Structure 1
Amino acid sequence: MARRDEAGSWTVVPDERRRLPGRGAYVHRHTGCVESAVARRAVVRALRLTAPVAVDLAEVLRHSTEQRG
């Protein structure tokens, strides 16, 4: 799930319960998978965000790290 802030940049947030409104995209929790999806612009395409856009995945990576323990 992506949310736009006041500055106009997008933040991708985890939605494990799949309850947030809007379009979502599945990315495996492994940090390498998340980084690969960003590098290939798969997240931007899946969420249908307008290009060019800087996507901040800090929350997703933090969540991924917490889940792996």
Structure 2
Amino acid sequence: MHDETHTPTSADLIRELMAARAGWEPLFDAADGMRLDLEARGWSPVTARWVAGQWMCHIVRNSVRGGR
């Protein structure tokens, strides 16, 4: 939370990042599930991890940009 009378501190940033992380937990779970599913279908662990990571980056980037 930021207002004109308060200069954000590193503790404020950490609290905000932890709150955001909690909101993104289902996305991390989905990426892990995608990775495991791809591996179960015969994809290599490295490729499955890469695909799930790319998907996660796309989702996070879109959420930061507001869906643009």
Instruction: State the TM-score, normalized to the length of structure 1.
Output: 0.33
More strand by share: 1
Which structure is higher in RCO with an 8 Å CA cutoff and minimum separation 6? 1
More helix by share: 2
Instruction: State the TM-score, normalized to the length of structure 2.
Output: 0.34
Between Structure 1 and Structure 2, whose CA radius of gyration is higher? 2
